């Protein structure tokens, strides 16, 4: 059936079809726009990921930070217009900033490290303070400027775009681009893109900084090893040279001129010997004969080095003094002006001469001289030449004897008596050499005293005599010098050696002729006092020694104070061997040290029991470390101006399953002597960090820190930063919530390692406190050198400070010093309100002590925090 539509129906159908076509066309147009948008978005994403990949790759590809910063600029410039670009690093601890990379078409790069406050009100400070990205348009800049939020630094531009570099929520720097062109404007999309890039710059930058630190450490170690290798090679060369000199002296076929030439050649391998001569001393005729000479400034060696009567020239000075003489031209002029020598040649720069002595007889002089400033002889050269001269003297003497024997063959009958005398002389020399060898084997090389082996033999003999003779009595005195290490550290080992020699000579004068003084090593001496009529004789000797060593010594024009602690053990039938008796005297000496030094103690059985108790305590400490028995107690650190709680010092306590509660004074000294304190320190740090993290989660005290003590030797280990970092990672505590305390003693040894460890901890975010300041060396040198944040004023100055004017002066000096060095101060041992108020008036910022609270268990410390937070 066919249905015919009317005209109206046909018009309606056509209209509907047109509307459908228009709708489809609109849909197609929208889909086309979406495709373009998606393609653009995909292109942006590809650019971002390409930049991310390149940024992550930079720390592996770049060899140094400067190249890295330049590549960062290049990468960001590939994403947006960045003709003006700079990177700033911010040090929160010292409150400083540094422009490590700077490209700007208008302004010059700010040089060096800049105090953060000097750029107060700058765009960069605004980003650092807010920790947020900032897109600064001219409109926003005017608004901030009108509201005094910013100041004008540098040339005014169009748009300024800066983002922070964040590490663990802390700002460590910024990245900035800016435009001076109205045609180059930045958008929020640019801001997001730069923020996105900055997140990955931080990781790559830190990895590269770590690589640089590792490289520096490796270079330092390599340098140290190379020094050791050079010293070993030098020692081997010296041994080889001495052997060659010895060989030359036995080669009787070698004529004397060739012999001297070869000696010159051997010495020239050790020291610069371009100008060299050997002169023989004729004592009978008071003449000097030049046996061998080489001189680059002499036109006629025969004339310039002809034999001469002894005068007052420099070779004769060596002969008169019978010792090595090292002179610069200025020193030679001083001797001339003093009338001791003739005027030196104007072209001489450095002069070194040593006497040639064999068996106490002066044979002549050996001299090196330099005419050029590049060759200057030093004390090490002098010591080396003096050492070699002994062997040269022996070689010359042996050569003389060999020549004499060879000539004697021609005149055998006439020279029999002379040959016999020569042989007798040789025998005497050998006997003297044997005597010298025996003496060397039995005596200390530095002081000339008997050594340990000889002393043990003598003591063993005395013990045997006492067993045979009931009335034979004797004593052993064991001496240890007080503060000897301070002399070595402050004046050097040379001064320490001089002090030991002086004391050795005086000890031999103090004791009786039949007594024996020996040096065991270091600063330890022992005395055997035999055939005593009464114990009082030994006490008198000990008193004279202690009184003598209380007096100061003058070394290198400086007064040196020392002292001694003496242990005495008397002969007893229970002693069967020398080592036991010597051990007991040593034990008594340590009791003398513990009881105040500068005194003597007599050994008794209670001391032996004390030693046994110490051994038992040491075993229990080792067990307690394994069983995790050491726990932290917490003493609050208070801000004096507001009485607000700022942190806790963690103090080690021992809850022993065997001994019960053990007080610190009963176990810490022994733990330090046995190096067990290092394991205890790490237990206390880990448990303290765990406890503070728990309080943060439960009580919300996010700003409180924990301060833990570290034994000085901890800082001598290169693994310390890694161990601290591992504790922070395991406990989840942020580095800025941890402080470490060390004493001044740690700064006096292994300074390079200590400085490296402190820098690593600082880079990690851990602050460093110097404990007990004012009681040690208190040297300004290490305060400048080492990155210290806080000085803790020792309690000995704080206790009742309001009653002691001199203590107030010391504290004020320490506080002013700390302020000038941008350090904070903590007063320890505050026990009353008056002390607390006085410290606050002197601008000491923080305090701790019994006035605020004694050290508390973790439970009581939690209650303390809750009360402070109310």
Q: Give domain status of residue 224, yes or no.
A: no
Position 720 scores a pLDDT of: 92
Q: Which of 568, 603, 638 is the last residue of a domain?
A: 603
| Pair (588, 633) in one structural domain | no
Q: DSSP readout, 273-298?
A: -SSEEEEEEETTTTEEEEEEEE-TT-
CA nearest neighbour of 746 among 770, 712, 771 = 712
**Burial of 77 (C-beta count, 10 Å sphere; 0-12/13-18/19+):** middle
Block means of pLDDT (10 residues each) for the chain, length 870 residues? Answer: 44 60 61 51 62 68 80 86 91 90 90 88 88 89 78 84 90 92 88 85 79 73 64 64 68 75 84 90 90 88 87 90 92 91 90 90 91 89 83 78 68 68 73 65 84 90 88 91 79 86 91 90 91 90 91 85 90 86 87 82 77 80 91 95 95 90 87 88 95 94 93 87 94 95 79 89 93 67 83 83 75 88 92 89 93 94 89
| Pair (481, 568) in one structural domain | yes
Position 807 scores a pLDDT of: 77
Contact between residue 727 and residue 689 where contact means Cβ atoms under 8 Å apart: yes
How far is 48 from 52, CA to CA, in rounded Å? 6
Q: Which of 395, 427, 442 is the last residue of a domain?
A: 395
How far is 120 from 124, CA to CA, in rounded Å? 9
Q: Encoding tokens for residue 398?
A: 């042996």
CA nearest neighbour of 778 among 810, 754, 801, 805 = 810
Q: Which residues contact 371 (CB under 8 A, 6 or more apart)?
A: 275, 296, 297, 347, 348, 349
| Pair (268, 354) in one structural domain | yes
Q: DSSP readout, 636-683?
A: EEEETTTTEEEEEEEEEEEEETTTEEE-HHHHHHHHHHTTTHHHHHHH
For 419-434, the pLDDT digits (tens) are 777 777 777 777 776 6
Position 86 scores a pLDDT of: 93
Q: Encoding tokens for residue 494?
A: 């040379």
| Pair (863, 718) in one structural domain | yes
Q: Give domain status of residue 188, yes or no.
A: yes
Angle at 502 between CA 500 and CA 505, to 5 degrees: 105
Q: Which residues contact 563 (CB under 8 A, 6 or more apart)?
A: 481, 482, 483, 546, 549, 550, 597, 598
| Pair (201, 171) in one structural domain | yes
- Residue 671's domain is classified under what CATH number? 3.20.20.450
Q: Give domain status of residue 364, yes or no.
A: yes
Position 155 scores a pLDDT of: 83
| Pair (707, 772) in one structural domain | yes
Mean pLDDT of the chain: 84
| Pair (468, 560) in one structural domain | yes
| Pair (622, 570) in one structural domain | no
Position 854 scores a pLDDT of: 94
Q: Give domain status of residue 88, yes or no.
A: yes
88: domain range? 61-210
| Pair (654, 691) in one structural domain | yes
| Pair (346, 481) in one structural domain | no
Position 8 scores a pLDDT of: 53
Position 26 scores a pLDDT of: 63
Q: Give domain status of residue 280, yes or no.
A: yes
CA nearest neighbour of 614 among 657, 669, 683, 680 = 669
How far is 388 from 241, CA to CA, in rounded Å? 9
Q: Which of 548, 579, 603 is the last residue of a domain?
A: 603
| Pair (151, 255) in one structural domain | no
Position 438 scores a pLDDT of: 64
What is the end-to-end Cα distance of the chain in Å, rounded? 95
Give the number of domains in the chain: 4
Query: 3-class secondary structure for 45-77?
Result: HHHHHHHHHHHHHHHHHCCCHHHHHHHHHHHHH
- Residue 188's domain is classified under what CATH number? 3.30.450.40
Q: Give domain status of residue 20, yes or no.
A: no
Angle at 117 between CA 111 and CA 121, to 5 degrees: 100
| Pair (586, 637) in one structural domain | no
> How many other CB atoms are found less than 10 A from the CB of residue 581?
27
Q: Give domain status of residue 848, yes or no.
A: no
Q: Encoding tokens for residue 615?
A: 């051994």
- Residue 468's domain is classified under what CATH number? 3.30.70.270
- pTM, entire model: 0.42
Q: Give domain status of residue 308, yes or no.
A: yes
- C-alpha 94, offset from chain centre: 22
For 329-384, the pLDDT digits (tens) are 999 999 999 889 999 988 899 999 999 998 888 989 999 999 988 889 999 888 88
């Amino acid at each position: 059936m066919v249905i015919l539509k009317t005209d109206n129906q046909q018009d309606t159908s056509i209209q509907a079809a047109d509307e459908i076509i228009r709708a489809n066309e609109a849909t197609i147009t929208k889909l086309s726009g979406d495709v373009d948008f998606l393609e653009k978005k995909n292109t942006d994403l590809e650019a971002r990921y390409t930049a991310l990949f390149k940024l992550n790759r930079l720390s592996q590809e770049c060899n140094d930070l400067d190249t890295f910063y330049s590549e960062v600029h290049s990468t960001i410039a590939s994403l947006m217009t960045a003709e003006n670009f700079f990177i700033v690093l911010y040090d929160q601890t010292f409150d400083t900033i540094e422009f490590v990379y700077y490209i700007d078409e208008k302004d010059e790069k700010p040089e060096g490290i800049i105090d953060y406050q000097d750029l107060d009100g700058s765009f960069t400070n605004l980003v650092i303070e807010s920790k947020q990205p900032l897109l600064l348009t001219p409109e926003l800049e005017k608004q901030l400027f009108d509201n005094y939020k910013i100041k004008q630094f540098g040339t005014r531009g169009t748009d300024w775009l800066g983002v922070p570099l964040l590490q663990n929520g802390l700002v460590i720097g910024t990245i900035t681009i800016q435009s001076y062109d109205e045609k180059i404007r930045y958008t929020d999309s640019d801001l997001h893109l730069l923020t996105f890039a900055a997140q990955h710059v931080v990781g790559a930058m830190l990895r590269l900084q770590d690589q640089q630190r590792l490289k520096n450490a490796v270079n330092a170690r390599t340098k140290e090893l190379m020094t050791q290798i050079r010293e070993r090679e030098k020692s081997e060369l010296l041994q080889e040279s001495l052997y060659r000199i010895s060989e030359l002296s036995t080669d009787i076929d070698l004529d004397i001129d060739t012999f001297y030439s070869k000696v010159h050649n051997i010495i020239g391998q050790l020291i610069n010997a371009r100008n060299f001569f050997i002169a023989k001393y004729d004592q009978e005729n008071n003449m000097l004969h030049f046996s061998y000479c080489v001189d680059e400034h002499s036109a006629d060696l025969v004339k310039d080095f002809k034999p001469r009567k002894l005068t007052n020239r420099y070779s004769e000075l060596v002969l008169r003094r019978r010792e090595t003489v090292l002179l610069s031209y200025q020193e030679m002029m001083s001797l001339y002006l003093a009338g001791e020598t003739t005027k030196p040649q104007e072209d001489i720069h450095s002069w070194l001469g040593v006497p040639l002595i064999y068996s106490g007889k002066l044979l002549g002089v050996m001299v090196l001289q330099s005419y050029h400033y590049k060759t200057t002889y030093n004390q090490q050269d002098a010591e080396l030449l003096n050492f070699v001269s002994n062997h040269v003297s022996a070689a010359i003497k042996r050569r003389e004897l060999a020549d004499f024997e060879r000539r004697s063959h021609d005149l055998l009958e006439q020279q029999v008596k002379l040959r016999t005398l020569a042989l007798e002389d040789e025998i005497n020399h050998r006997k003297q050499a044997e005597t010298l060898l025996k003496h060397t084997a039995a005596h200390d090389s530095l002081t000339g005293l008997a050594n340990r082996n000889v002393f043990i033999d003598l003591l063993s003999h005395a013990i045997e005599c006492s067993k045979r003779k009931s009335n034979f009595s004797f004593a052993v005195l064991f001496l240890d010098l007080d503060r000897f290490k301070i002399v070595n550290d402050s004046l050097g080992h040379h001064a320490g050696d001089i002090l030991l020699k002086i004391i050795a000579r005086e000890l031999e004068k103090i004791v009786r002729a039949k007594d024996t003084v020996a040096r065991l090593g270091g600063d330890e001496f022992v005395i055997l006092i035999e055939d005593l009529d009464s114990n009082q004789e030994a006490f008198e000797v000990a008193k004279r020694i202690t009184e003598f060593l209380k007096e100061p010594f003058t070394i290198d024009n400086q007064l040196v104070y020392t002292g001694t602690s003496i242990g005495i053990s008397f002969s007893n039938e229970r002693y069967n061997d020398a080592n036991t008796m010597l051990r007991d005297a040593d034990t008594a000496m340590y009791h003398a040290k513990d009881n105040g030094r500068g005194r003597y103690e007599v050994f008794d059985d209670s001391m032996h029991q004390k030693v046994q108790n110490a051994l038992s305590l040491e075993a229990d400490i080792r067990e307690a470390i394994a069983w995790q028995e050491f726990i932290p107690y917490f003493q609050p650190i208070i801000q004096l101006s507001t009485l607000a709680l700022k942190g806790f010092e963690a103090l080690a306590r021992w809850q022993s399953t065997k001994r019960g509660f053990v007080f610190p004074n009963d176990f810490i000294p022994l733990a330090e002597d046995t190096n067990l304190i290092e394991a205890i320190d790490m237990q206390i740090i880990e448990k303290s960090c765990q406890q503070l993290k728990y309080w943060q989660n439960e009580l919300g005290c996010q700003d409180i820190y924990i301060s833990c003590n570290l034994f000085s030797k901890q800082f001598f280990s290169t693994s310390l930063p890694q161990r601290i970092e591992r504790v922070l990672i395991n406990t989840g505590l942020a580095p800025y919530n941890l402080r470490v305390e060390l004493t001044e003693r740690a700064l006096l040894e292994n300074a390079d390692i200590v400085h490296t460890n402190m820098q690593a901890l600082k880079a990690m975010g851990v602050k460093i406190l110097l404990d007990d300041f004012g009681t040690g060396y208190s040297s300004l040198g290490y305060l400048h050198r080492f990155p210290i944040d806080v000085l803790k004023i020792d309690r000995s100055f704080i206790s009742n400070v309001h009653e002691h004017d001199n203590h107030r002066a010391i504290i004020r000096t320490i506080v002013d010093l700390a302020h000038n060095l941008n350090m904070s101060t903590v007063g320890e041992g505050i026990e009353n309100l008056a002390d607390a108020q006085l410290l606050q008036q002197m601008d000491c910022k923080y305090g701790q002590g019994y006035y605020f609270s004694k050290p508390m268990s973790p439970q009581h410390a939690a209650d303390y925090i809750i009360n402070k937070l109310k």
